[in-house]
Amino acid sequence: MSFWQVTAVPGRSVQGTCGHLAEALDVSVPAVRQCWECVRAGSRWVHLRQCLTCGHVGCCDSSPGRHAHGHARAGHDLARSVEPGERWAWCYADELFLEPTGVLDGAEAVDGSQNAGDGSGLK
């Protein structure tokens, strides 16, 4: 059973497949939301992404460090957003958006409807 499934991006009709979904584990949300590599380097990040394989937290591609992307190159391709209210993940290898399959629903009651149809600010 996988926790995530590929989701269609608004404005993009083609829906690809991701062969990494089995790598995604039910990693717990970090207690402290920080990109430690940025903290060490004294730099700032824009958004945070969490590796779905090991729970590593890094910053997004809009951040100067792009540490989540750097971590993905090590073989952990899936990362989810840990921004409050955001429930989506990203496969760096396939460049696909993922959404929860519903297996995790109930653990945290976040209303996803407010994000429906709003493709801005993703990634």
Interatomic CA distance for residues 4 and 99, integer angstroms: 5
Tokens matching residue 37: 């590599």
Is the CB of 54 or the CB of 107 nearer to Zn ion? Answer: 54
Query: In the chain, which ranges are continuous DSSP H helix?
Result: 36-41, 67-72
Is the CB of 51 or the CB of 97 nearer to Zn ion? Answer: 51
Q: Work out the widest C-alpha separation in the chain, in whole angstroms.
A: 41
Neighbours of 75 (CB within 10 A): 10
Does position 20 bind Zn ion by CB under 5 A? yes
Query: Per-residue x/- mask for Zn ion, residues 51 to 90, rule CB under 5 A?
Result: x-xx-x--x-----x-x--------x--------------
Does position 39 bind Zn ion by CB under 5 A? no
Binding site residues, Zn ion, CB under 5 A? 18, 20, 35, 37-38, 45, 51, 53-54, 56, 59, 65, 67, 76, 91, 93-94
